[in-house]
Amino acid sequence: MKTSNLPDIHTDFAQWYQEVVYRAQLADQSPVRGCMVIRPYGYAIWEEIQTVLDKKIKETGHQNAYFPLLIPESFLNKEAEHVKGFAPEVAVVTHAGGKELEEPLVIRPTSETIIHSMFARWITSWRDLPLKINQWANVVRWEMRTRPFLRTTEFLWQEGHTAHETYEEAHAEMILMFEHYVDLAENYLAIPVITGRKPDSEKFAGADITMTLEGIMQDGKALQMCTSHMISQNFARAFNISFQNRNGELAHPYLTSWGATTRLIGALIMTHGDAKGLILPPRIAPIQVVIIPILKADSQEKVCAYAQELADVLKKAGVRVHLDLDDQKTPGAKFYEWELKGVPLRIEVGPRDLEQKQVVIVSRLTGKKEVILGDTLERIISQKIKEEQDALFARARDYRNKLWFKREKLSEFTQDLETKGGFYQTGWCGDETCEEKVKAAKGTIRCLLPEKEFAHCFSCQKSSINDIIIAKSY
């Protein structure tokens, strides 16, 4: 492991990010263009996220299933908006089993088309509704510029797909799953988000409404974290999904889809990291507490036994604890490594601690050391896990608030947006001509907020339809 300093987080954020990803062994570059290898430590974070999300998905009445990776090219072409959005970035299988295929197959960039084709078979009556399916899968989108976790050719995600009798029910589903994503982001990942509807230009290809969670990264850019969509009725028509409704008439169901990806790991890094590397919120950290024994020749065995005892106590209490007994590394090298990897709490125990039946606890976030009695460990660690989680969220919220500005006109913030980043709340008439001006300033409308503080459009000064957030984005 390299022990030189990381690139400066303030002046060279992009390079800092890459180095944290590689040095903390979250991911590695692969020999395949735009694809990364998710290493065990990065994958363990994804498993924690999966556990939280899978529970939410099942508790809200969805069932997991699995649909084919390969989709007939003709399926993609059935919904006009969808093909426009995804056709340019699909990977295409033209040969298989030593022969050229009659019809090329695309690797799923998302699974609406294949899943809706099955919905058409499964749904015949209102009694089959709602149909609420989720899939954990890999997808491939041939992106031009890639970055580990943030934008990779292949990524992992969950994609929910549901069908409902009425517009209202589908709309409620879209909102419900959106709110679960907000809960995941804020209460587990400790990332405060700005939420709202996407403007038409930024919607999912084929959606009527796209709801988004925008995270605020430390470099002042927005990261779209999760999205939840009302899918256009065109999909139901294109795939012939229809059912006999309660009045005996044939009707199309209303569809939703919603997804969260491995990109969330990128959000964690960019929201919480510091000069020493990653900082993980305890609720999602694969290792919440690392115990490092300080070994001297004459007490080595006893100190290790004491450290093991502490580890057992914490493990039994349900804490995710790792005891680092590697005898090839100095304590200093271990401190460095586990700080880089963002473990929320470190426990040090040496010969003197053993004598006094005490332990030293160090917070990754503040670096503050505290000496406590060994027999209070379980209680104090469980309290500290909560405190660290809250403190991390509070720090990120403060940071977000400092980067959240309210401005009447684009001209007031064009320069700041381009040079310093930040989030600019303003009014918008809803017109694409005005939206184009934002793009010229290297920003995008990240979302339309539910509230309305500004009466006029940031550009044309006509009446505003909604407040919006303008920012640069990943």
Structure tokens at 12: 């060279």
Q: Does 248 bind a second copy (CB under 8 A)?
A: no
- Closest CB to a second copy among residues 314, 403: 314
How far apart, in whole angstroms, are the C-alpha atoms of residue 448 and residue 445? 8
The closest alpha carbon to 347, from 377, 375, 318, 312, belongs to 377
- Nearest distance in Å: CB 1, a second copy: 12
Give the burial class of 122: count Cβ atoms within 10 A of its Cβ; 0-12 exposed, 13-18 middle, 19 or more buried: exposed
Structure tokens at 462: 């006509």
Q: Does 117 bind a second copy (CB under 8 A)?
A: yes
Taking a C-beta distance cutoff of 8 angstroms, is the pair 467, 451 a contact? yes
Taking a C-beta distance cutoff of 8 angstroms, is the pair 267, 215 a contact? yes
Q: Does 96 bind a second copy (CB under 8 A)?
A: yes
- Nearest distance in Å: CB 36, a second copy: 8
For residue 406, count other CB atoms closer than 10 A to its CB.
12
Q: Which range binds a second copy by CB under 8 A, 136-144, 209-217, 244-252, 454-462?
A: 136-144
Q: What is the DSSP letter of 274?
A: B
- Closest CB to a second copy among residues 47, 436: 47
Q: Does 440 bind a second copy (CB under 8 A)?
A: no
Query: Helix H segments across 246-327?
Result: 263-272, 300-316
Q: Which range binds a second copy by CB under 8 A, 67-75, 170-178, 293-301, 341-349?
A: 67-75
Q: Does 21 bind a second copy (CB under 8 A)?
A: no
How far apart, in whole angstroms, are the C-alpha atoms of residue 210 and residue 259? 11
Would you give the binding string for a second copy spanning residues 315-354, x where CB under 8 A is met? Answer: -------------x--------------------------
Collapsing DSSP to helix, strand or coil, 324 comes out as coil
Q: Which of 1, 14, 65, 325 binds a second copy (CB under 8 A)?
A: 65
How far apart, in whole angstroms, are the C-alpha atoms of residue 236 and residue 241? 5
Q: Which of 9, 49, 140, 311 binds a second copy (CB under 8 A)?
A: 140
Q: Which of 3, 8, 14, 37 binds a second copy (CB under 8 A)?
A: 37
Q: Which range binds a second copy by CB under 8 A, 65-73, 172-180, 196-204, 344-352?
A: 65-73
Would you give the binding string for a second copy spanning residues 161-200, x where CB under 8 A is met? Answer: ----------------------------------------
- Closest CB to a second copy among residues 89, 179: 89
How far apart, in whole angstroms, are the C-alpha atoms of residue 134 and residue 66? 8
Q: Which of 2, 11, 59, 97 binds a second copy (CB under 8 A)?
A: 97
Question: Which residues make beta-bridge pairs with 470?
Answer: 424, 445
Q: Which range binds a second copy by CB under 8 A, 83-91, 299-307, 355-363, 446-454?
A: 83-91
- Nearest distance in Å: CB 102, a second copy: 9
Q: How many residues does the chain have?
A: 474
Structure tokens at 333: 């090298």
How far apart, in whole angstroms, are the C-alpha atoms of residue 212 and residue 228? 7
- Closest CB to a second copy among residues 70, 304: 70
How far apart, in whole angstroms, are the C-alpha atoms of residue 44 and residue 46? 5
- Nearest distance in Å: CB 157, a second copy: 12
- Closest CB to a second copy among residues 100, 298: 100
Establish whether the linkage from the previous residue to 40 is cis, with ω within 30° of 0.
Answer: no
Q: Does 429 bind a second copy (CB under 8 A)?
A: no
The closest alpha carbon to 227, from 197, 249, 272, belongs to 197
On the CB side of 108, how many CA atoms lie within 13 Å of its CA?
22
Residues that bind a second copy (CB under 8 A): 28, 30-32, 35-40, 43-44, 46-47, 63-72, 75, 87-98, 104-105, 107, 114, 117-118, 121-122, 127, 133, 137-138, 140, 142, 144, 153-154, 156, 328
